[in-house]
């Protein structure tokens, strides 16, 4: 059913029996002006009281003595948006003054000459009956439209389906657009207008959102656009967009968009609440799975299925923990990281917050797939502009071949994070094998025998450094770190090669040990690691 805008046009008015003898004196081009109410004008300052869409009728009484002043009223009425003016002649005015007709024609303002026997009260009643009828017709159609959209939403139809039905009703392109971010998120009603919407400069359109309507250029054509805000709690800057592309937009269409935007707002809130419940359910499952609270494979399968996750019995699983090298990300950053990861990891992988830490469950058909997914995860996080100062390290728990063993992978990932945090490892990706001997030293209890061990092997060297303000212990440590390569040791210490050679000779003399003996090398290496561990404990106040 095609509907015109609300109101009775002047053209329709002239078709009524009461106006069969009426004559259009001026403004014939605007006979499509809509009449929303009728009023009688018999005061000279009527322009102060008129409203847009009114059709005025007068006998010309206020200007009976000064008809030349009548023409000055026309521009004022046109500016106020008056639909038109009907003048009953032969009573106070023998005819409509030519100057009035001339000015009305200049403004394309409809000027109707009414017959002397015209009864104003009958016309007011008849016209308003027609106006009210059209108003009720629009309201009935609006109600039918809203009932249809409400029915679709209550039937849990997808939002895309609802938008498609609205697009069908309005016979013009419809889209739900989120302008809260620099890159607009556009949810189209259908793919039919995909190319059309892709040509829109959404940031330019956002600048017109305050007026809720405007003009945009698409493919060299200037078209009208109407924007209705979606007042949803979780959408700060979402709009329901109507483009006047196929047919002329009527006021009933604009009203429909306004009402439907409120219904969509409720649906978005409902969807968000549903997602929150589903996310909490999934997060609880991930936490229980990783921490071994659900162990049997059938139980894991049932819990996964209830969360909408398809458990895979092929390939490999691995648990990852995200470790912040700099300042810990605040809650909003964590939420943004989670959103980014959910769109970048493979479909059969999961991400969640467990005890305030971002944890991922990575799946791959082959071991190489795990490496690819981990690389993609690292890139996704580090490419976020707001995290430029927050470098991260991914702690790997190692691949497992069955879902019930994933808790072992998570346990290792947590150990990697804990130990690398303590020792300050800076690598982008760390696994248990990268920790070396530190994975053993970290869990050694405080014991006097450890102190005796270090004193026996490095005591003379520690005392020499203390008494002479030298750094021979540091040189020996770097010597082992560089695989006993003198040149690399000198480079790492920013020292001359001969200086390092001299220092190493002094170390041999002080320790009275053969540094080429593999057993001595192992003992000294362990002693140096214990010294480093002791220094770290002192720097952290003894807290491990």
CATH number of 291-439: 3.30.70.270
Q: What residue ranges of the chain are covered by domains with CATH 3.30.70.270?
A: 291-439
Higher-confidence residue of 36 and 395: namely 395
**Tens digit of pLDDT for each residue in 473-487?**
899 988 888 889 999
| Average pLDDT rounded to a whole number, residues 162-169 | 92
**Tens digit of pLDDT for each residue in 304-335?**
999 989 898 889 999 999 988 877 777 777 87
pLDDT, residue 2, reads 40
Q: What residue ranges of the chain are covered by domains with CATH 1.10.10.2840?
A: 444-539
Cβ atoms 462, 447 nearer than 8 A? no
Query: What's the token pair of residue 214?
Result: 């405007």
- At residue 1 the predicted structure's pLDDT band, cuts being 50, 70 and 90, is very low
Quick check: 345 pLDDT over 80? no
- At residue 209 the predicted structure's pLDDT band, cuts being 50, 70 and 90, is low
Contacts of 118 (CB under 8 A, 6+ apart): 18, 22, 57, 86, 88
118 dihedral zone (left: phi>0; alpha: psi -120 to 50; beta): beta
Q: What residue ranges of the chain are covered by domains with CATH 3.30.450.40?
A: 156-269
Fold observed for domain 444-539: Arc Repressor Mutant, subunit A (1.10.10)
Closest by alpha carbon to 8, among 99, 120, 90, 124?
A: 124
Model pTM above 0.85: no
Fold observed for domain 8-131: 3.40.1390
**Tens digit of pLDDT for each residue in 109-127?**
999 999 898 888 888 887 8
How far, in Å, CA of 146 to CA of 295, rounded? 50
| Average pLDDT rounded to a whole number, residues 84-89 | 93
- At residue 346 the predicted structure's pLDDT band, cuts being 50, 70 and 90, is confident
Quick check: 13 pLDDT over 70? yes
57-71, 270-284, 529-543: the lowest-pLDDT one = 529-543
Q: What percent of the chain has pLDDT over 70?
A: 92
Contacts of 472 (CB under 8 A, 6+ apart): 461, 464, 465, 503, 506, 507, 510
User: Parallel, antiparallel, or unpaired: how do β-strands 23-26 and 392-396 relate?
Assistant: unpaired
Cβ atoms 38, 127 nearer than 8 A? yes
Quick check: 85 pLDDT over 60? yes
**Is 156-269 assigned to CATH 3.30.450.40?**
yes
Print the SS3 string covering 300-356. HHHHHHHCCCCCCCCCEEEEEEEEECCCCCCHHHHHHHHHHHHHHCCCCCEEEEECC
Q: What residue ranges of the chain are covered by domains with CATH 3.40.1390.20?
A: 8-131
Backbone phi and psi for residue 177, each to the nearest 5 degrees, phi listed first: -120, 130
| Average pLDDT rounded to a whole number, residues 28-49 | 86
CA distances from 487 to 270, 356, 480, 497, 525 (A): 67, 45, 12, 6, 19
How far, in Å, CA of 345 to CA of 370, rounded? 11
């Amino acid at each position: 059913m095609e509907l015109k805008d609300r109101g009775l046009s002047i053209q329709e008015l002239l078709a009524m029996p009461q106006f069969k003898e009426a004559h259009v004196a001026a403004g014939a081009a605007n006979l499509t002006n809509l009449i929303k109410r009728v009023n009688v004008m018999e005061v000279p300052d009527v322009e102060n009281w008129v409203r847009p869409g009114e059709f005025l009728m007068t006998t010309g009484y206020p200007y009976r003595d000064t008809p030349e002043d009548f023409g000055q009223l026309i521009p004022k009425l046109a500016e106020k948006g008056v639909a038109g003016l009907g003048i009953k002649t032969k009573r106070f005015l023998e005819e409509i003054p030519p100057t009035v007709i001339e000015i009305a024609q200049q403004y394309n303002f409809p000027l109707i000459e009414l017959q002397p026997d015209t009864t104003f009260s009958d016309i007011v009643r008849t016209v308003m009956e027609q106006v009210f009828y059209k108003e009720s017709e629009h309201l009935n159609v609006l109600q039918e439209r809203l009932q249809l959209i409400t029915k679709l939403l209550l039937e849990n139809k997808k939002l895309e389906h609802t938008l498609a039905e609205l697009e069908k009703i309005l016979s013009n392109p419809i889209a739900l657009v989120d302008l809260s971010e620099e890159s607009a998120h556009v949810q189209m009603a259908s793919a039919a207008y995909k190319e059309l919407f892709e040509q829109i400069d959404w940031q330019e359109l956002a600048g017109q959102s305050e007026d809720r309507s405007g003009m945009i250029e698409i493919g060299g054509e200037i078209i009208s656009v109407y924007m209705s805000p979606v007042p949803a709690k979780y959408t700060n800057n979402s709009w329901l967009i109507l483009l006047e592309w196929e047919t002329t937009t009527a006021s009933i269409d604009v009203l429909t968009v306004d009402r439907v935007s409120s219904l969509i707002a409720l649906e978005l809130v409902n969807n968000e609440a549903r997602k929150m419940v589903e996310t909490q359910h999934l997060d609880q499952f991930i936490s229980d799975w990783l921490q071994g609270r659900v162990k049997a494979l059938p139980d894991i399968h049932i819990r996964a299925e209830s969360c909408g996750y398809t458990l895979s019995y092929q390939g490999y699983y691995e648990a990852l923990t995200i470790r912040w090298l700099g300042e810990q990300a605040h809650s909003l950053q964590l939420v943004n990281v989670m959103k980014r990861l959910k769109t970048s990891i493979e479909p059969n992988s999961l991400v969640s917050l467990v005890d305030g830490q971002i944890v991922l469950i990575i799946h791959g058909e082959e071991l190489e797939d795990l490496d690819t997914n981990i690389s993609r995860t690292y890139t996704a996080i580090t490419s976020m502009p707001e995290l430029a100062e927050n470098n991260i390290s991914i702690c790997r728990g190692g691949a497992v071949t069955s879902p019930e063993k994933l808790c072992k992978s998570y346990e290792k990932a947590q150990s990697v994070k804990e130990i690398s945090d303590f020792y300050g490892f800076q690598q982008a990706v760390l696994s248990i094998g990268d920790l070396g001997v530190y994975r053993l030293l970290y869990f050694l209890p405080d014991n006097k025998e450890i102190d005796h061990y270090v004193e026996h092997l490095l005591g003379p060297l520690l005392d020499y450094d203390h008494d002479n303000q030298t750094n021979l212990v540091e040189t020996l440590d770097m010597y082992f770190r560089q695989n006993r390569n003198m040149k690399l040791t000198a480079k790492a210490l920013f020292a001359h090669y001969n200086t390092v050679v001299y220092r190493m000779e002094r170390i041999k003399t002080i320790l009275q040990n053969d540094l080429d003996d593999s057993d001595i090398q192992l003992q000294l290496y362990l002693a140096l690691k214990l010294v480093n561990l002791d220094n770290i404990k002192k720097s952290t106040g003894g807290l491990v």
